[in-house]
Amino acid sequence: MSDLRIAVLGVGVMGADHVARITSRISGARVSVVNDYVTEKADPIASQIDGCRAVADPLDALADTDVDAVVLATPGAAHEKQLLACLEHGKPVLCEKPLTTDVSTSLEIVRREAELGRPLIQVGFMRRFDDEYMRLKALLDGGELGNPLVMHCVHRNPSVPSYFDSSLIVKDSLVHEVDVTRYLFEEEIASVQIVKPSSNPGAPQGVIDPQIAILRTVSGRHVDVELFVTTGVAYEVRTEVVAERGSAMIGLDVGMIRKAAPGTWGGQITPGFRERFGRAYDTEIQRWVDAVRTAATTGTYIDGPSAWDGYAAAAVCAAGVESLETGLPVDVQLADRP
C-alpha cells in the first residue's frame, strides 16, 4: 500500500510539530504539501522534505491531486471554510480543536458531513490517545471501581500567549476536560458553571485566572476543574475519578525521583503540552493514518473523536462562556444528532 500523502495546513507551533512527527515517526504517511497564511513559513519547511511543496492558497493545498488527506492546524477562524472544502473534495481531515469557532457553524459541519454518509472529520482531542487516560478509561470500562460519581481535574499552564482572554481559558483550555468528561463517562454534559476566585496578580490585566469550572452530566455526575493558565511553574494536568468502590488518579508527574545533596528530593514536570502529550499526538496521528489507509475495507476514515464530539464540546464551552459573565450554572443546548 502506498504512503498516505498529507497536506498540513498551518505550520505554526502545532502544525510544524505534526510535519516533524509525520516525517520522522509515523509510518505509512508522508507530507506532500504544506501551507501557511504566512507564506515565508511554509517554504523552508517544504524544502527540507523530499517530495513536499509549499502551496500558497489553503483551498488549493487541500484540493491538490498530490493530497489524500489533510491535517488542519490553521487558526480556528479558518476551519469552517477549510472543513467544508475537505468535505466537498471527499478528503479525510484531522482538525485541531476547535472544530469551528462557534456552535452554529460546528453544527453545520456535522450536518454537511452526515449528508455525505461517511465520517471524514476527526477532531484533535489528543488526551484520548494518552497512555494514562487510556488506562483510566479501561479501568472505568472494566467496572472494577463501580459507577464513577465525581471527577476532580487540575489544568495548569505556566503561561499562555498574550491574546488569551478569560473566555479562551474556557474555549481553549477547559475544552479538553469537556472532552475528557464525555470520553470517560460516555454521556453528555447538561450544565456548566464558572466560579471566579481571586485572580492571580500575575495574570494579564482583566483576565480572570484561575477559574473553577463545575460541570454536571446528564445523569447527575459532578466534575470540577481548576483552570489556572499563568502559574509560572510548568504544565500540570491531573485527573481523579471517584467511583462507588474506589478512586483513580492520573497525571501525578511521577517520573524519576532524584535525591541529592544537600538533602533535596524531587523530579521534573513537563514544561508544556507538547512535551506532556507528545506520545499521545504520535499515537493519535498514527491511528488516524492507519484508519484512512484502511478505510476502503473498514468504511471509516476516523479512529477517534468525531465532528459531533467537536460540536458537543463547542456547545458546552459556549455555555461556559455565558456562565463566565453571569456566574450562574448555564444549561447546555444540544441539537439532535443527525
273 binds ligand ISE (CB under 6 A): yes
Q: How far is residue 278's CA from residue 18's CA, in Å, rounded to a whole number?
A: 10
Local structure of residue 57 (DSSP, 8 states): S
CB nearer to ligand ISE: give 86 or 227.
Answer: 227
Q: Pick from 23, 157, 239, 286: which binds ligand ISE (CB under 6 A)? A: 157
CB nearer to ligand ISE: give 194 or 229.
Answer: 229
Q: How far is residue 43's CA from residue 55's CA, in Å, rounded to a whole number?
A: 9
Q: Pick from 74, 106, 173, 230: which binds ligand ISE (CB under 6 A)? A: 173
CB nearer to ligand ISE: give 271 or 338.
Answer: 271
153 binds ligand ISE (CB under 6 A): no
Q: Are 249 and 239 in contact (CB under 8 A)?
A: yes
Given the rule CB under 6 A, which of 45-53, 172-180, 183-191, 210-218 is the region that contacts ligand ISE? 172-180
Q: Pick from 160, 213, 241, 314: which binds ligand ISE (CB under 6 A)? A: 160
Closest to 230 (Cα-Cα) out of 173, 274, 300: 173
CB nearer to ligand ISE: give 243 or 318.
Answer: 318
Local structure of residue 50 (DSSP, 8 states): T
Q: Pick from 176, 182, 221, 293: which binds ligand ISE (CB under 6 A)? A: 176
Residues 6+ apart with CB under 8 A from 166: 206, 207, 208, 209, 211, 324
Cell of 80: 469552517
172 binds ligand ISE (CB under 6 A): yes
Given the rule CB under 6 A, which of 170-178, 205-213, 251-259, 319-327 is the region that contacts ligand ISE? 170-178
Report in angstroms the alpha-carbon separations of 43 from 25, 46, 78, 276: 22, 5, 20, 29
Q: How far is residue 78's CA from residue 292's CA, in Å, rounded to a whole number?
A: 23
Give the nearest distance from C-beta 260 to ligand ISE in angstroms. 30
Q: How far is residue 12's CA from residue 112's CA, in Å, rounded to a whole number?
A: 28
Cell of 10: 498551518
Q: Are 323 and 329 in contact (CB under 8 A)?
A: yes
Give the nearest distance from C-beta 172 to ligand ISE in angstroms. 4
Closest to 315 (Cα-Cα) out of 88, 110, 79, 113: 110
Which residues are paired to 192 by β-bridges? 215, 330
Residue number with the smallest Cβ distance to ligand ISE: 173
CB nearer to ligand ISE: give 12 or 28.
Answer: 12
130 binds ligand ISE (CB under 6 A): no
Q: How far is residue 296's CA from residue 154's CA, in Å, rounded to a whole number?
A: 41
Total chain residues near ligand ISE (CB under 6 A): 7
Given the rule CB under 6 A, which of 168-176, 179-187, 249-257, 281-289 is the region that contacts ligand ISE? 168-176
Q: Is 26 helix (H, G, I), strand (E, B) or coil?
A: coil
Q: How many helices (H) and strands (E) does the chain have?
A: 12, 15
Give the nearest distance from C-beta 120 to ligand ISE in angstroms. 23
179 binds ligand ISE (CB under 6 A): no
Cell of 156: 495548569
Residues 206-235 binding ligand ISE (CB under 6 A) are 229
306 binds ligand ISE (CB under 6 A): no
Cell of 319: 455555555
CB nearer to ligand ISE: give 52 or 123.
Answer: 123
129 binds ligand ISE (CB under 6 A): no
Give the nearest distance from C-beta 245 to ligand ISE in angstroms. 31
311 binds ligand ISE (CB under 6 A): no
In one-letter notation, the amino acid at residue 241 is V
Q: How many CA atoms lie within 13 A of 87 on its CB side?
A: 22
166 binds ligand ISE (CB under 6 A): no
Question: Which stretches of the chain bind ligand ISE, using CB under 6 A?
Answer: 157, 160, 172-173, 176, 229, 273
